[in-house]
Amino acid sequence: MKPALPGAEGHAVLDAAQADTERLRSQARAHVADGAVTAGYGPGRSEVLARLDAALATELVCMLRYRRHHFMARGPQARPVADEFLVHAEQEQQHADWLAARIVQLGGEPDFAPQGLLQRSHAQYIEGVTLADMVRENLVAERIAIDSYRGFIAMLEGHDPTTRRLIENILAVEEEHADELAGLLAGLPDGYAH
């Protein structure tokens, strides 16, 4: 059986599809220097870049705090906790790298400048004195990051699926960190005090 030839309505659909394809090709050639940022990205890129930069600052501050805590952890229970701090620091650094790469993909410039890092970060850099203080401060920072990332994901819904997936992946790790830290804190003397 032969396929039916399209009628006038079918030709109109094919013509519209061809016109759309030609428009896409023309836009791609005209704006080739924009890389991954196409006309389809729509408005809001500057807000997404600002939020990505805040996330980058947050990850860098957390990485630095975890590294300090790794080296400063003392006491009979310190070794496994310090080891966990180092793992978390490395994961936060990986998150920062992913965020920086996405900022560049969207035509921005990642801000690694030390001055202003704490102002852009959602998390604080609190050193802590005791091992329990250190775990608690990292747990607080993870909880802040979790809520911040959830809000960012909601903002991105239906707008930028690539950035949304990136933030969702980072959020999953931050939730694991919070769960691990809550377990560590519960096992430390004066863990939940304050």
pLDDT per residue as tens digits for the range 54-86: 999 999 999 999 999 999 999 888 999 999 999
Residue, of 168 and 157, whose pLDDT is higher: 168
Give the distance from CA 60 to its chain's centroid.
12
The answer on pLDDT for 12 being more than 80 is: no
The predicted model gives 166-176 an average pLDDT of 98
Average pLDDT score over the chain = 88
Give the separation between CA 174 and CA 169, rounded to whole angstroms: 9
CB 9 within 8 A of CB 15: no
CB 20 within 8 A of CB 56: no
- Residues 176-193 pLDDT 10s: 999 999 999 998 887 654
- Residues 81-130 pLDDT 10s: 999 999 999 999 999 999 999 999 999 999 999 999 999 999 999 999 99
pLDDT cut 70: percent of the chain above it: 77
| Helical segments of 73-130, H only | 78-105, 117-120
pLDDT of residue 190: 74
Per-domain residue ranges of the chain: 44-186
pLDDT of residue 20: 65
The predicted model gives 151-174 an average pLDDT of 95
Q: How is domain 44-186 classified at the architecture level of CATH?
A: Up-down Bundle (1.20)
pLDDT of residue 13: 63
Residue, of 133 and 40, whose pLDDT is higher: 133
pLDDT of residue 194: 45
pLDDT of residue 84: 97
In this prediction the pTM is 0.82
Give the separation between CA 47 and CA 156, rounded to whole angstroms: 10
